Amino acid sequence: MAIFGIDAAVQNRLGSDTYGLYFSLLNLSYLFTIAMDLGINNYTTRNVAQYPHIIPSYFGKIFGLRLILFFIYTLITLVFGFAIGYRDGAIYILGILIFNQFLNTLILYVRSHLGGLHLFRTDALISVLDKFLLIIICGYLLLTTSDFNIEWLIWSQTVAYAITLVVGLSLLIKRIGLPKLKFKWVFSYAIIRQSLPFALLALLMVFYTRTDSIMLERIHEHGAYEAGIYAKGFRLLDTLYMFGMLFATLLLPVFSRMIKEKSAEIGFLLESARNLLMGGGIVIAFIAAHLATPVLSWIYTADIREAAPSFILLMWSFVAMTVTLVYGTLLTAKGDLRFLNISSAIGIAINIGLNYVFIPKYGAIGAACSTLVTQSFVALCQIVRVHQSISPLQPLRTVLKFSALVLSMFLMNLFLPEKNWVFFLECSVGLIFLFAFRLIDLPRIRLAFSEKK
């Protein structure tokens, strides 16, 4: 909702060029966030789920470590920004975005404890609170001012993150008590050493998902404009991915617990989660391919036809991303980080190589093609890896289910007109298909995510 109500409104108000520069700087601020985290969030979620008694002694020590890591992240990001040519106003905006990333990282750290404790409802509340506050704050500014500028959006994010962090910390402290803020070199070194594989994985994943817009803005002849065009589709992709991440955040502690207990149900949960996310992704991709122009025109007011091709490609990328949300989470829970890091590193090489070839000639469309190829490659690698150790449940039946869904959506698109009302029909019928082909198994998912210890 924040993307549709606020982000799109800002882009419509400021235009593709101005927003394109902001979008590029925003993704630059994401690149090195791992320097603030070093894989601590995933490590915390996984270990808290298995050993919840460690929270009181760990929380304050790791929080102190994060303050030092923030300064390291800030230095790296600013130096990199200068190195690739950003100056003056761009660096000022980047500085605010860096602070926002710090606040967001702390929120994620708090959520990693809530998820590890299986406080899923509380975790879900914190995950949406900052978006809700952004809608209120920035929405008011958009409605009451005629000279809105991009800094107002960024400072609105700052306030929303700060309030969310305070609320999240308060709820966690109510559960675990007030921790003491400490910093110990020996403890910090031990945590960093154990978290580094998670850190490398996060760094690699950020690079092959966030470099597209930066490369667009830097190496294309009309870089800011092309980045703005690309942002129209990517922000919608990012919105969908955030919803998927909510699900993956719940999956990580559950998978971790099942692995520790050697539960036979892990294959069934894997299948149920994959069918739900991938099936939904396929429905969304078909709707986007058929109704790209109408959907974008509901949100944006300019450059709709220019943005449609890259938007379609990015929506098909989402199908592959749903696979990595499930399979990658299971591999993380198993601690198979060496494989994840190798496949992600190859993904980066593919992504950057294709971007250098495609972006100068094809702009946003070229970047979207690179994303689709990269995400598909990583997804395929993870599927093969997981099913080397976990036999797929009824593989032929699964293939037939997805084939039936693809064929049904294709035939529906073939005969329906490209009209606005068709969107609601396709969403409804697509949901019916998911249930009809047994790609949604709500009772099993509800049972797996039960908060009973």
pLDDT higher at 200 or 410 = 410
Q: Give the whole-angstrom CA distance, residue 137 versus residue 432.
A: 38
Does residue 25 surpass a pLDDT of 90? yes
Report yes or no on 114 lying in a domain.
Answer: yes
Does residue 53 surpass a pLDDT of 70? no
- At residue 351's C-alpha, the angle toward residues 340 and 109, to 5°, is 50
Report yes or no on 258 lying in a domain.
Answer: yes
User: How many structural domains are present in the chain?
Assistant: 1
pLDDT of the residue at 428: 95
pLDDT of the residue at 451: 47
pLDDT-based confidence at 73, cuts 50/70/90? Answer: very high
Report yes or no on 336 lying in a domain.
Answer: yes
Find how far residue 174's CA is from the centre of its chain: 29
| pLDDT tens digits, one per residue of 78-127 | 999 999 888 888 999 999 999 999 999 889 888 877 876 777 788 888 98
Q: Give the whole-angstrom CA distance, residue 259 versus residue 266.
A: 8
| pLDDT tens digits, one per residue of 245-260 | 878 877 888 888 888 8
Find how far residue 137's CA is from the centre of its chain: 23
The domain containing residue 347 runs over which residues? Answer: 2-448
pLDDT-based confidence at 266, cuts 50/70/90? Answer: confident
pLDDT of the residue at 247: 81
Mean pLDDT over each residue of the chain, to the nearest integer: 86
Report yes or no on 391 lying in a domain.
Answer: yes
pLDDT of the residue at 452: 46
Report yes or no on 453 lying in a domain.
Answer: no
pLDDT-based confidence at 17, cuts 50/70/90? Answer: confident
The pTM of this model reads: 0.79
pLDDT over 70 for what percent of the chain?
89
